[in-house]
């Protein structure tokens, strides 16, 4: 069966050819192309997102590396702590008994100084006193030196006037070293010209003070 050709109709003579149909075809083709472009664009966007996701995964790897560096830093601080411990141990090992200790570090304390007697003769006066000393330090001593000051105390007065001082040394051997087991008592004497004093040579008219100057540990 032969399909009639609409252009063979005499009534259509002189009418333009229906090019609109071709434009419609072109429009449909263009829409298809645009749809393909959209699909391609979406695929590219999807690829881009996948690439971004991969980059974020690399960032997480970097964070793992930073964690490793942090853990390494912790190990370093531990090493430092070990070195500090070694230093403290070396301090204990290096600490030795000194040859001499000053008054502040000796731990020796004069707890009492009492005048026992005062004598005069040949233009000189001698004040005899007893010192009580305790060892509250960490060392035992073989030699201890004191400074002892003598004062006159006029009757009816609370004032004290210095008249003389002297350095007194006491030594202890290995069997009788000065440790902290008990207080030690020893007598000392201070002699000076009698003209320095204006009071009578009586024990009630004098007073003494004493302080540790140095100590030599054993």
- Segment 163-207, tens digit of pLDDT: 999 999 999 988 899 999 999 999 999 999 999 999 999 999 999
pLDDT at 78 over 60: no
Number of domains, the chain: 2
pLDDT at 17 over 60: no
Residue 7 is assigned to a structural domain of this protein: no
pTM, 2 dp = 0.56
Do residues 86 and 32 both lie within one domain? yes
Do residues 36 and 80 both lie within one domain? yes
Do residues 108 and 91 both lie within one domain? no
Domain housing 107? 103-217
Confidence band for 109, pLDDT divided at 50, 70 and 90: very high
Do residues 75 and 136 both lie within one domain? no
CA dist list (Å): 89 to 82, 84, 85, 95: 11, 9, 6, 10
**Can you say whether the dihedral through the CA atoms of 34, 38, 40, 44 is positive or negative?**
positive
pLDDT at 216 over 90: yes
- What number of other Cβ atoms are within 10 A of residue 188's Cβ? 21
Q: What ranges in the chain are assigned the alpha helix state H?
A: 20-94, 103-106
pLDDT at 80 over 90: no
Do residues 73 and 126 both lie within one domain? no
Task: Give the pLDDT confidence score for residue 174 in this predicted structure.
Answer: 81
Residue 65 is assigned to a structural domain of this protein: yes
Residues β-bridged to residue 215: 101, 144
Residue 2 is assigned to a structural domain of this protein: no
Confidence band for 126, pLDDT divided at 50, 70 and 90: very high
Do residues 121 and 203 both lie within one domain? yes
Task: Give the pLDDT confidence score for residue 180 in this predicted structure.
Answer: 94
């Amino acid at each position: 069966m032969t399909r009639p050709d609409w252009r063979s109709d005499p009534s259509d003579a002189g009418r333009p050819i229906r090019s609109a149909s071709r434009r419609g075809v072109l429009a449909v083709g263009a829409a298809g192309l645009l749809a393909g472009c959209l699909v391609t664009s979406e695929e590219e966007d999807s690829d881009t997102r996948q690439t971004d996701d991969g980059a974020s995964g690399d960032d997480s790897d970097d964070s793992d590396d930073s964690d490793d560096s942090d853990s390494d830093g912790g190990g370093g601080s531990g090493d430092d702590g070990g070195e500090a411990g070694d230093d403290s141990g070396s301090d204990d090992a290096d600490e030795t008994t000194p040859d001499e200790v000053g008054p502040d570090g000796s731990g020796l304390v004069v707890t009492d100084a009492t005048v026992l007697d005062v004598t005069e003769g040949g233009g000189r006066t001698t004040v005899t006193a007893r010192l009580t000393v305790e060892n509250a330090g960490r060392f035992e001593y073989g030699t201890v030196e004191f400074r002892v000051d003598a004062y006159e105390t006029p009757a009816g007065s609370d004032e004290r006037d210095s008249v003389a001082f002297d350095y007194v040394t006491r030594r202890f051997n290995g069997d009788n070293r000065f440790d902290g087991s008990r207080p030690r008592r020893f007598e000392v004497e201070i002699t000076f010209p009698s003209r320095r004093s204006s009071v009578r040579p009586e024990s009630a008219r004098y007073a003494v003070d004493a302080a540790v100057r140095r100590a030599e540990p054993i």
